[in-house]
Amino acid sequence: MTNSQRGTVTQPLLALPGDLDPQRLPQHVAVIMDGNGRWARQRHLPRVVGHQQGVETLKELLRCCRDWGIAHLTCYAFSTENWGRPGLEVEFLLTLFERVLRQELQDLMREQVRIEFVGQLHALPQGLQTQISEAVALTRHHQRVWLTVATNYGGRQEIVRACQALAQQVQKGELTPEEIDETRFAQQLYTSSSPDPDLLIRTSGEMRLSNFLLWQIAYAELYVTETLWPDFDRGSFHQALIAFQQRHRRFGRL
Q: Is 68 annotated to bind ligand?
A: no
Q: In whole angstroms, what is the distance from residue 190 CA to residue 192 CA? A: 6
Q: Classify 208 as helix, strand or coil.
A: coil
The stretch near Mg ion (CB under 5 A) out of 34-42, 50-58, 193-201, 238-246 is 34-42
3 is catalytic: no
Q: In whole angstroms, what is the distance from residue 29 CA to residue 203 CA? A: 13
Of 34 and 198, the one with the shorter C-beta distance to Mg ion is 34
- Helix 87-110 vs helix 126-139: angle between axes, to the nearest 10 degrees? 20
Q: Is 208 annotated to bind ligand?
A: yes
Of 25 and 202, the one with the shorter C-beta distance to ligand IPE is 202
Of 51 and 72, the one with the shorter C-beta distance to ligand IPE is 51
Applying CB under 6 A, does 208 fall inside the site for ligand IPE? yes
Closest listed residue to residue 147, CA positions, set 55, 231, 79: 55
Q: In whole angstroms, what is the distance from residue 219 CA to residue 197 CA? A: 8
Of 25 and 28, the one with the shorter C-beta distance to ligand IPE is 28
DSSP 153: E
Applying CB under 6 A, does 36 fall inside the site for ligand IPE? yes
Applying CB under 5 A, does 202 fall inside the site for Mg ion? no
Buried b (16+ CB within 10 A) or exposed e, 155-168: bebbeeebeeebee
Position with the least CB separation from Mg ion = 34
Q: In whole angstroms, what is the distance from residue 169 CA to residue 185 CA? A: 12
Applying CB under 5 A, does 34 fall inside the site for Mg ion? yes
Applying CB under 6 A, does 79 fall inside the site for ligand IPE? yes
For the annotated binding site, the residues are 34-39, 47, 51, 79-81, 83, 85, 202, 208-210, 221
Q: Would you tell me which residues interact with ligand IPE (CB under 6 A)? A: 32-38, 76-79, 82, 93, 204, 206, 208, 210
